[in-house]
Amino acid sequence: MLETIWFVLWGLLWAVYFILDGFDFGMGTLLPFLAKNNDDKVAIYNAAGPYWDGNEVWLITAGGVTFAAFPKAYAVMFSALYAPLLILLFALIFRAASFEFRNKKDCPGWRKFWDVWQFLGNFLPALLLGVAFANLFMGIPVDGDGVYHGNILKLLNPYGLAGGIFFVLIFCMHGAIWLALKTTDEMHMRAVIAAHVLWPLVVAMSLAFLAMTAFYTDLYANYGEHPTLLIFPLSAVFLLLTVRVMMAGNNLLGAWFCSAGFIFALTFFGVLGMYPGLIISSIDPAYSVTAFNGASSPLTLKIMLGVTLVCVPIVIAYQAWVYYVFARKVSDEGIRHDKQR
């Protein structure tokens, strides 16, 4: 029972991370396409500025839970996905540096350098997370000792690349809606147009990815055995359609929450399709690491559950406060202030 609870919590933490840091990834990826001048770039930085570091807390939490609750899965996962996770780490480090250092020097070349890293520091994590999770859904070549028999090129298979593209498109749409919420005038209009353009691309890629999932993975098996779980993929379809309805009615806040719900439902579609598997072996299913053979002791899981029930509400409360304090749109005064820093 405890193993199943922690498996669901593991999926929940990843879903929250994708929702919150997803809009940061989307805005950063769209930076070179939507920003026409320095003021536009400052507006995009400011739309993410108060939130991005707090949003990364959920990545640390998800990784920490994997380590503490499922240490065997953590060991195999970080061994098999070592190269992409290392690239992900460095990309996030340079993204953080771009927020801190871009406006420290009034030099176009200096700012352009950090703008490039702002783009790469958002695009690469979005792509690599999609590649990583698609491979986890499909299964990776690990033996009975948890040794990975492959390399980074083996991860860049058609299904893995499709997962990467899918994640990038979803986060770009999610980020475009957030940017439209946080900006005014021309940048607001560009963000709205971007969200409208990206929506059909997300729909098309959703259909393609779901079709490829049926061919490359066994995710649908759990849904055949437990039809009640179909609420998650059906909710994802409904929420994605509702995003379009909300945008058509110029209800951008509603569109963003529907986009967040779509990401949540889609994450659980994958996670519950894997259950109880955490690391599915493509060599032999018997070598797979599951929520049961890869979990910590019951005592550890109980203690962690108690700590989580106390700490997570505190994290949610202070992040909600941050979003409330910085609820205003990005203003021209704020941009002028940043230019003078």
Q: At 108, phi and psi to the nearest 5? A: -55, -40
Place of tokens 């970080």: 78
Q: How many domains is the chain partitioned into structurally? A: 1
Report the alpha-carbon distance of residue 270 to residue 136 in Å, rounded.
9
The residue type of 21 is D
d(CA 203, CA 173): 11
Those residues with Cβ within 8 angstroms of residue 158's Cβ, 6 or more apart along the chain or in another chain: 212, 216
User: How far apart are alpha carbons 237 and 234 in whole angstroms?
Assistant: 5
208 phi, psi to nearest 5 deg: -65, -45
Residue pair 17/312 in contact (Cβ under 8 Å)? The answer is: no
β partners of residue 289: 279
pLDDT at res. 333: 58
Look at residue 210 in the predicted model and tell me its pLDDT: 94
User: Cβ distance 118 to 85 under 8 Å?
Assistant: no
Q: Give me the phi and psi of 50, to 5 degrees please.
A: -75, -10
| Torsion of Cα atoms, 173 then 175 then 177 then 181, to 10° | -170
> Domain range for residue 281?
2-340
Contact 262, 239 (CB under 8 A): yes
β-sheet bridge partners, residue 279? 289
pLDDT at 171: 98
User: pTM for this one?
Assistant: 0.94
Which string of DSSP letters, residue by residue, matches 30-91? HHHHH--SHHHHHHHHHHHTTTHHHHTHHHHHHHHHHHHH-HHHHHHHHHHTHHHHHHHHHH
Q: DSSP E strands: which ranges in the chain?
A: 277-279, 289-290
Decide the pairing of beta strands 289-290 and 277-279: antiparallel
**pLDDT in the model for residue 10:** 95
Q: What is the pLDDT along the chain (341 residues), one digit of tens a residue?
A: 899 999 999 999 999 999 999 999 999 999 999 999 999 999 999 999 888 888 888 999 999 999 999 999 998 888 888 888 899 999 999 999 999 898 888 888 999 999 999 999 999 999 999 999 999 999 999 998 888 888 888 899 999 999 999 999 999 999 999 999 999 889 999 999 999 999 999 999 999 999 999 999 999 999 999 999 999 999 999 999 999 999 999 999 999 999 999 999 999 999 999 999 999 999 988 899 999 998 999 999 999 999 988 988 888 898 889 888 887 887 655 565 555 55
pLDDT of residue 339: 55
Q: Which residue has the tokens 């950063």?
A: 28
Backbone angles phi, psi at 157, to 5 degrees: -85, 170
Angle (CA) 267 319 306, round 5°: 70
Greatest Cα pair distance, the chain, in angstroms, is 61
| Alpha-carbon dihedral 186, 188, 173, 314, rounded to 10 degrees | 140
Long-range interactions of 236-243: CB distance < 8 A, separation 24+: 236/206, 236/262, 236/265, 236/266, 236/269, 239/265, 240/202, 240/203, 240/206, 243/173, 243/177, 243/199
289 contacts: CB under 8 Å, gap ≥ 6: 70, 72, 73, 76, 142, 146, 277, 278, 279, 281
Spatial contact of 277 and 4, defined as CB atoms under 8 Å apart: no
